[in-house]
Amino acid sequence: MAQIPESQQKVKFYQTGTFTVGNRLLDAEHRNVQATMDRCNSLDSGHRACQGCGEALGARFAIDAAMRASNNQLIAANATGCLEVFTTPYPQTAWSMPWIHSLFGNASAVASGIAAALKAKGREDVRVIAQGGDGGTTDIGFGCLSGTFDRNDDVLYICYNNQAYMNTGVQRSSATPGAARTATTMPVGKNPGNVFGTGKNVPLVAMAHQIPYVATASVHDLHDLEYKVTRAMEVRGARYIEIFVPCPLGWGSKPGDTVKLARLAVESGMYPLFEAEDGEITGVTKIRRHVAVSEYLKLQRRFAHVFKPDNAHQLEQLEAIAERNIRRFDLVSAEGEEE
Amino acid sequence: MSKSAPEQSKPFAITLDVGSSLLNRTGSWRTERPVYLDRLPPCNHACPAGENIQQWLSLAEEGDYQGAWREIMKNNPLPGVMGRACYHPCEDACNRAQLDTAVGINSVERFLADEAICNNWRVEVENPPSGKRVLVIGAGPSGLSAAYHLALLGHEATINEAGPVAGGMMRFGIPKYRLPRDIVDAEVERIVTMGVTLNLNTVVDDIPAAMQAGGFDACFVAIGAHLANRVDIPAADASRVLDAVSVLRDMETGDTPPQLGRRVVVYGGGNTAVDVARTAKRLGAEPVIVYRRTREQMPAHDFEIEEALEEGVVVNWLSTVTGADEKGFQIEKMALDENGRPQPTGEFETIEADSMVMALGQNVDTSILDHLPGVEIADKVVQVDDNMMTGCEGVFAGGDMVPSERTVTVAVGHGKKAARHIDAFLRGDRYLKPSQHEIASYDKLNPWYYTDADKKLRPILDIARRTSTFEEVMGSLDRNNALFEARRCLSCGNCFECDNCYGVCPDNAITKLGPGNRFEFKYDYCKGCALCATECPCGAIEMVPEDI
């Protein structure tokens, strides 16, 4: 047996690798912000999000990472939506950082204004984030968002995508997937749920603005998420990150399955994880263990009807979307899945 | 204005004070609460010696080899023997087998034991002397284990061994190529230096007399099962028919190796048959194992059969020995009936051979207990109660002579168990087994979080040297791959502080207490979503319904 010198042997943490939040065998600097005892908990306890809220989780992950990257010199503008409502029922706030509530549609414009003011004051050390849900981003705030990208304002926009207007009672947004049941796309008729062939992919729209950094992330892959937020904070100019955040209320899923659903969405190809610089894709998170789309769908009541024999065509359409994502973003390694 | 100042300070239409959301105790929403718990790892559950395997693997994976070894020594004084001769039921139970392959627990144990021998690590007796004396009869694995544990508990243990060397079946039953004798010597010596008296060539035939003469307060009998079962082979020359026990014993103590001739038939299908056949091969003979059932039905472990076949041992399945003549032995072919039992077919053949070794099981020589009142012998073995005590008060028994699976590890486990009960007996008490946790079965785990990691295999000696020498067949792991192998442990059922619960809580309702101190729930804020329990890799969180 060939003897590998200790110096050349990579230290491998096979017990859980980097898939868990932290690992006691890892050096401190390689651990996630969320693994540290002194993480800032920008979004603290006592907020009124539902049990198992993916958005509350995604927001703490992202903002804590941004806080570390900016040495806690961070201001956030927040669009109207769940995130704003459940964190700040006046006069209480769950935010332990400078935070401002804007209108539903102008969070990026408010953030652009803050960035301009900081520039005027010469405060380059203070960084600006705008954040909101998919409704406030892909529909109502879309014009302002495009303007921020167009001007390349020094703002990181984070969209927490739970694929519908959850705060107001689960109405369809332009991020709602085909076949999904919402209050405005009821599962009736020959093509129940949301119509296929509608909506928009804002990460790709952001890339079309040739802004310095665009990425998609998911609450199930914290290491990847924190890396992308940290990478975005290293760059100046307009940046966009979309985080996939399952919603137990709107999706009809168990609160304890939130992270699992995010994982299944990514592993089935329904939600591709990638990053792009200056309009060009620079990195793709490969699928680790490929699962069937139905594994992802069957845990959600909003897709219950696609498993009825009459609606088999809808399941096929969703599977075709996953296959296209896998092909388009090259989500499966040439050598096959990691085994 | 008559209104009080605090009310005035509130903005229009607001009844609450401005403040943090921490004022809002969302824990009141909860219908289920998460609770940290420790579940019993399947490896620990399966270990006949009761080792806390997961605990010592956890120490080993931090590179604390001595700490890991000391954890083994709490339950098993013979890890070097275990790391070679144990059939590792722990690995059969290991949850990792359902992910890729079981953790190489046995190989890590051997690595740790060899480190201990190499560095001369010792175990200190911390309990004060009790003034009690215990006689142990037989220096096999069971007796040595009992003496060791009794010594740890502060008792004075004396082992009387009838033979010229200590080790019992570790020396006379397990061939050198599986268990080098210097390992047995080192581990026996370590027990003796703890203050255990070892008297060799000392036969005890009257237990009450021996106890009285030596002033012993209790006795543990572990003389094993040394009487070979034999069957009559018509017309066989008695000098050409040997038994496995004496062949293997002669290998150890005889002046000359046993005379087996050129070709030897080994009759039987257990591990002892395979051991004899492989020993014969190394002595230059051509062994043929004759067994009346199929390979699948052989009681010998499959890996041993495999190794024997690799070394050129021939096996005739579905055959019985029916007679002998000057050329060799007659074999009758068997066939399985519809119940899977072998039935004679009337088809005969002759195997030319110079000798035959019977490996048909062993029995206990129970004559030592003849003088003892109350001792019950049934099914050719000595009956003991739950406390390992025979029908005679103060006389305990264990190992191969009591009803059990006859392996070294079971024997070591008996020694420990007996020592605990003897200790309680000497104090006029009863030892109560602590209650066991629920088993951490595979369905309790979240395997997503475990990275792929192939098992590190131990090097195997070349075939040429395996068939001509008694060198150890299985090599050792080295420092690098032993560490890697230990880290493959999934830590089933016990928190290893991966921070997952702390990370995935949407309500920041978990406090990290710092390295080694695990975590604590903030029930004031926990909404009971169960994300922590679902995402815990090792199944160390349980959701418990709230009383509503």
pLDDT of A13 > 50? The answer is no
Question: Do B545 and B467 reside in the same domain of the chain?
Answer: yes
Question: Do B411 and B298 reside in the same domain of the chain?
Answer: no
Question: Do B317 and B403 reside in the same domain of the chain?
Answer: no
Residue A309, chain B, CB below 8 Å: the answer is no
B128 assigned to some structural domain: no
Q: What's the confidence (pLDDT) of residue A16?
A: 58
Q: Which two tokens stand for residue B95?
A: 């949850």
Which residues 171-200 on chain B approach chain A with CB closer than 8 angstroms?
Answer: none
Q: At what angle do helices B53-60 and B479-487 cross, to 10 degrees?
A: 130
SS3 state at B111: helix
Question: Do B16 and B113 reside in the same domain of the chain?
Answer: yes
Q: What's the confidence (pLDDT) of residue B340?
A: 87
Domain boundary among B339, B359, B379: B359
Which pLDDT tens digit goes with each residue over B111-150?
A: 999 999 999 999 999 999 999 999 999 999 999 999 999 9
Residue B447, chain A, CB below 8 Å: the answer is no
pLDDT of A1 > 70? The answer is no
Chain B residues lying within 8 Å of A248, measured CB to CB: 529
Question: Do B62 and B81 reside in the same domain of the chain?
Answer: yes
For residue A138, give the DSSP letter: I
Give the span between the Cα atoms of A83 and A99, in whole angstroms.
12
Which pLDDT tens digit goes with each residue over B490-507?
A: 999 999 888 899 999 999
SS (H, E, C) B507-547: CCCEEECCCCCCEEECCCCCCCCCHHHHHCCCCCEEEEECC
B243 assigned to some structural domain: no
B215 assigned to some structural domain: yes
Q: Judge: A49–B506 Cβ closer than 8 Å, yes or no.
A: yes
Q: Residues 6 or more apart from A54 whose CB is under 8 A from it?
A: A160, A162, A219, A244, A245, A246, A247, A248, A258, A259, A261, A262, B506
Question: Do B478 and B527 reside in the same domain of the chain?
Answer: yes
Question: Do B374 and B418 reside in the same domain of the chain?
Answer: yes
Question: Do B117 and B221 reside in the same domain of the chain?
Answer: no
Q: Judge: B451–A17 Cβ closer than 8 Å, yes or no.
A: yes
Q: Judge: A258–B24 Cβ closer than 8 Å, yes or no.
A: no
CB B455 within 8 Å of CB B104: yes
Q: What's the confidence (pLDDT) of residue B121?
A: 97
Q: What's the confidence (pLDDT) of residue A3?
A: 43
pLDDT of A336 > 80? The answer is no
**Residue ranges, chain B, pLDDT below 70:** 1-11, 13
When CB atoms are compared, the residue of B14, B21, B489 closest to A47 is B21
Q: What's the confidence (pLDDT) of residue B487?
A: 86
Give the span between the Cα atoms of A273 and A286, in whole angstroms.
8
Residue A161, chain B, CB below 8 Å: the answer is no
| For residue A91, cis peptide bond before it (omega within 30 degrees of 0) | yes
pLDDT of A68 > 90? The answer is yes
B291 assigned to some structural domain: yes
Question: Do B59 and B78 reside in the same domain of the chain?
Answer: yes
**Class at the top of the CATH hierarchy for domain A28-329:** alpha beta
B513 assigned to some structural domain: yes
- The CATH number linked to B147 is 3.50.50.60
B250 assigned to some structural domain: no
Q: Would you call A10 exposed, middle or buried from its count of C-beta atoms within 10 A (0-12, 13-18, 19+)? A: exposed
Chain B residues lying within 8 Å of A24, measured CB to CB: 496-498, 515
> What are the φ and ψ backbone dihedral angles of B289, each rounded to 5 degrees?
-85, 130
Q: What's the confidence (pLDDT) of residue B3?
A: 47
Give the span between the Cα atoms of B500 and A31, in whole angstroms.
12
Question: Do B347 and B371 reside in the same domain of the chain?
Answer: no
Give the span between the Cα atoms of B98 and B91, in whole angstroms.
11
Chain B residues lying within 8 Å of A263, measured CB to CB: 448
Give the span between the Cα atoms of A317 and A321, in whole angstroms.
6
Residue A3, chain B, CB below 8 Å: the answer is yes
Please state the domain count of chain B: 3
Q: What's the confidence (pLDDT) of residue B128?
A: 96
For residue B369, the distance in angstroms to the closest alpha carbon of chain A comes to 51
Range of the domain at B287: 258-359
Question: Per mean pLDDT, which range of A267-271, A297-301, B323-327, B426-430 is the poorest?
Answer: B323-327
Structural element, H or E, at residue A228: helix A222-233
pLDDT of A60 > 50? The answer is yes
Amino acid code (one letter) for B340:
G
Question: Do B84 and B139 reside in the same domain of the chain?
Answer: no
Residue A338, chain B, CB below 8 Å: the answer is yes
Which residues 54-93 on chain A approach chain B with CB closer than 8 angstroms?
Answer: 54, 56-57, 60, 87, 90-93
Question: Do B473 and B523 reside in the same domain of the chain?
Answer: yes
Which pLDDT tens digit goes with each residue over A201-226?
A: 999 999 999 999 999 999 999 999 99
Chain A residues lying within 8 Å of B61, measured CB to CB: 15, 25
